[in-house]
Amino acid sequence: MAQVSLRKVIKKYDEVLAVRGVDLDIADKEFIVLVGPSGCGKSTTLRMIAGLEEISGGDIAIGGDVVNDVPPKDRDIAMVFQNYALYPHMNVYENMSFGLKLKKTPKQVIDQRVRTAAGILDITELLDRKPKQLSGGQRQRVAMGRAIVRDPKVFLFDEPLSNLDAKLRVQMRTEIKKVHQKVRTTTVYVTHDQVEAMTLADRVVVMNAGLIEQVGTPNDLYHSPATKFVAGFIGSPAMNFIPCQLEQAAGALRVRLNDKLAFPVPDGRTARYTSFVGKPNLVLGLRPEHIAETRPHTEPNQHDFEQMIEVVEPMGMETLVYFTINGAEVCGRVNPNAGATAERTMKLRADLSNMHLIDDTTGKVI
Amino acid sequence: MANATVATAGAPTRPVRYGSISQSRRWALRWSYFFLVLFAIFFLMPPFYMLVTALKSKEEIAAITNPWWVYSPTLSNFIELLTQNQYLIFFRNSALVSICVVVVTMLISVIAAFSLARMKFWGSAALATGVFLTYLIPDTLLFIPLFKMMTFVRETTGIELVNHWWTLIIIYPTLTVPFCTWIMIGYFASIPKELDEAALIDGATWMQTLTKIFIPVALPGIIAATIFCFTVSWAQFLYPLAFTTSTTELVLPVGIVTTLIKGDVFNWGQIMAGALLGAAPPLIIYAFLMDYYIAGLTAGATKG
């Protein structure tokens, strides 16, 4: 059993607070991804769990034991680094067995564990090679192998795929997921790539400026972000943020974007939003996929409008169109055959059933 | 191959000028060879002159003949030198001093550099700079205070340090340790931090991290430092001249000069033969270690 819990964990570098009180409970066998922009404290948090950084305040517990002052080697963790950190003068076998050798594990046990791990990662035929003879993906596998053989309580990954090219990254992402399904060890994974976070995690922890913004399953974060930061960070292309006003007209609530454009608020949300009528600093959050070309058949909460398209980006399976509403650049995803052309007006349809209303003063989603 | 042929057949035919790149490369090579040969001649001139003179008899050296050629080569200078007991003693002293200094220096500077580069502690940065500044003080300024220290040791403990060849093993590291430590700090600093963190997580102690990870990875740097250290100890002239006087305690550079120049009589043939033989050990060490050095440099110690 290896739950990891962080209680009000703080990291101070001189006078700078890198991590400003993080509370997090990671369940046994869970795959947690810490995600956020660079400098948000995610790597520092991971390194504190590893014991590579001392904590300035709070408690970290692994498997129920507080490990604040326990050195890394006694925390029973394994870590995979961004630049692999393989020992260049040792071959793959020696790299993988180094930790076990230091622990004076019997030779047969080492051999058996190395071979099992090599089998899982499909690197058995590479065991005699030196790291410099391996490709990036193979090195990453060896780094994972080194972690697996130790059979630790917790796996820690520090941006392990950032050094790989785009195609390999996708491939290794799947590998990591497969390995976790086979090995089932509690995993904490740090990345700045929200796609990686969404695809790998049981739960995603979005961090910003040394604090946790939101913890939730990938779908939770995507569909019900708690803050403007999470709403904008998760999803690609990012969610559109359009300054708006909430107005009451004939008993119904409307989101007014500019003089010409106003959309009725879906029924289920009126109660939640009523108190914000007439308030300043409101922002409408609408994902690009909820702005598409118009169609003959109308679903509830879908509203047509016309816009001058500024930029068209064909992606193959879809086409991205960009236009400006109320000073904000807005992106929509339309069918490639919808005939989107730059500098022409186009009939579009907004689906408000997935809208978000954000109070820009607090940054919270209402 | 078949595809390639089809592609070329379909391509427009246009006269293409080939070989401009290889031509400019050829000129670059010609120039580099020209300068390499020029420098080689320039730098090989003194050793060649040494060799020519060492192979001449006393009479031929004194005679008015072409100084750059030997007409009746003889090994008499070498034989006389090697049958003399003195020269062999100088050689032994030099070898012992240099080997011991290399061992002492590397033991101190590798450990010092590792702690200064990796174990961040209060004042480690200031110490590292201090080590380098020590090296900037010329040895001509240091031998008088060093002499004073030796006198102080004699007065307080009764141990005579002056005029012993082994004293040089204590003195030379004042020159070699700062520089080698500085080289090694630079080398250790270039090893990614994740490597010792990985070792730390794998359960290695600091000492194990040093011996099992850092020393093997930094081997090219260690070899560079070793070569430097050996050369400095082998060629050092001022300190042995100041600290040793008895013939049995002299090292090679001082020994040759003090015993083969008597007043204004220069025994050129033997001086040159002695210098030539004295240059052999560093040459052999360079030739042997350079292979390792270059192999180490190209091995791609970290991620590639």
Q: How confident is the model at residue B83 (pLDDT cuts 50, 70, 90)?
A: confident
Looking at residue B25, its pLDDT comes to 87
- Contact flag A85-B194 (C-beta cutoff 8 Å): yes
- B130 contact partners, CB below 8 Å, separation of at least 6: none
Instruction: Look at chain B and count its residues.
Output: 304
Pick from A144, A145, A157: nearest CA to A34: A157
SS3 B71: coil
Q: Which of residues 200-259 of B touch A (CB under 8 A)?
A: 200-204, 208, 212-213, 216-217
In this predicted structure, the answer to whether residue A180 has a pLDDT above a threshold of 70 is yes
Q: Residues B228, B233, B238, B242: is their CA dihedral positive or negative?
A: positive
The total of structural domains in chain B comes to: 2
Asked if residue B41 and residue B113 are part of one domain, the reply reads no
Asked if residue B70 and residue B80 are part of one domain, the reply reads no
Q: Does domain A240-365 have CATH number 2.40.50.140?
A: yes
| Domain A4-227: CATH architecture, name and number where available | 3-Layer(aba) Sandwich (3.40)
Best probe of the A interface among B190, B193, B200, B202, by most A CBs < 10 A, is: B202
- pLDDT tens figures, B172-227: 998 899 989 988 888 888 888 889 899 999 989 989 999 999 998 888 888 888 88
CB atoms within 10 A of CB A195: 15
Asked if residue B85 and residue B57 are part of one domain, the reply reads no
- B45 contact partners, CB below 8 Å, separation of at least 6: none
Q: What is the percentage of chain B residues whose pLDDT exceeds 90?
A: 27
Identify whether B8 is part of a domain: no
Identify whether B304 is part of a domain: no
Q: How confident is the model at residue B300 (pLDDT cuts 50, 70, 90)?
A: very low
Asked if residue B190 and residue B172 are part of one domain, the reply reads yes
Tell me which chain B residue has its CA closest to the CA of residue A84: B303
Shortest distance between the Cα of B212 and any Cα of chain A, in A, equals 9
Asked if residue B107 and residue B38 are part of one domain, the reply reads no
Asked if residue B105 and residue B27 are part of one domain, the reply reads no
CATH 3.40.50.300 domain position(s) in chain A: 4-227
Looking at residue A28, its pLDDT comes to 92
Q: What is the percentage of chain A residues whose pLDDT exceeds 90?
A: 42
Burial of A77 (0-12, 13-18, 19+ CB in 10 A): buried
Looking at residue B82, its pLDDT comes to 86
| Nearest-CB residue to B197 (from A84, A85, A150) | A85
- Contact flag B204-A102 (C-beta cutoff 8 Å): yes
Chain B residues inside the 8 Å CB shell of A73 = 200-204
Asked if residue B230 and residue B132 are part of one domain, the reply reads yes
- Contact flag A50-B208 (C-beta cutoff 8 Å): no
In this predicted structure, the answer to whether residue A41 has a pLDDT above a threshold of 60 is yes
Chain B residues inside the 8 Å CB shell of A80 = none
Work out the average pLDDT over B151-166: 89
- pLDDT tens figures, B30-45: 999 999 999 999 999 9
Asked if residue B158 and residue B57 are part of one domain, the reply reads no
Identify whether B1 is part of a domain: no
Q: Residues A169, A170, A175, A177: is their CA dihedral positive or negative?
A: positive
- pLDDT tens figures, A101-126: 999 999 999 999 999 989 888 889 99
Question: Is-contact B145 B243, C-beta < 8 A?
Answer: no
Looking at residue B247, its pLDDT comes to 85
Looking at residue B293, its pLDDT comes to 63
Chain B residues inside the 8 Å CB shell of A79 = 197-198, 201
Identify whether B6 is part of a domain: no
Identify whether B40 is part of a domain: yes
Q: How confident is the model at residue B7 (pLDDT cuts 50, 70, 90)?
A: very low
Instruction: Look at chain A and count its residues.
Output: 366
Question: Is-contact A233 A245, C-beta < 8 A?
Answer: no
Shortest distance between the Cα of B271 and any Cα of chain A, in A, equals 46
- pLDDT tens figures, B273-293: 988 888 888 888 888 877 766
Asked if residue B157 and residue B56 are part of one domain, the reply reads no
Pick from A87, A85, A149, A151: nearest CA to A118: A149
Rounded to two decimals, the pTM is 0.79
Question: Is-contact A45 A209, C-beta < 8 A?
Answer: no
Asked if residue B173 and residue B244 are part of one domain, the reply reads yes
Identify whether B191 is part of a domain: yes
- A268 contact partners, CB below 8 Å, separation of at least 6: none
Question: Is-contact B233 B97, C-beta < 8 A?
Answer: yes
Looking at residue B105, its pLDDT comes to 95
Asked if residue B162 and residue B31 are part of one domain, the reply reads no
Shortest distance between the Cα of B193 and any Cα of chain A, in A, equals 9
Shortest distance between the Cα of B198 and any Cα of chain A, in A, equals 7
Question: Is-contact A302 A350, C-beta < 8 A?
Answer: yes
This complex has an ipTM of: 0.81
Best probe of the B interface among A47, A70, A81, by most B CBs < 10 A, is: A81
- Contact flag A132-B216 (C-beta cutoff 8 Å): no
Average per-residue pLDDT for chain A: 89
Chain B residues inside the 8 Å CB shell of A103 = 203
Work out the average pLDDT over B115-144: 86
Asked if residue B46 and residue B173 are part of one domain, the reply reads no
Looking at residue A323, its pLDDT comes to 92
Tell me the residue range of the domain where B67 lies: 20-74
Looking at residue B17, its pLDDT comes to 63
Domain boundary among B74, B96, B120: B74
| Nearest-CB residue to A87 (from B203, B213, B304) | B213
In this predicted structure, the answer to whether residue B107 has a pLDDT above a threshold of 60 is yes
Tell me which chain A residue has its CA closest to the CA of residue B199: A99
- Contact flag A73-B197 (C-beta cutoff 8 Å): no
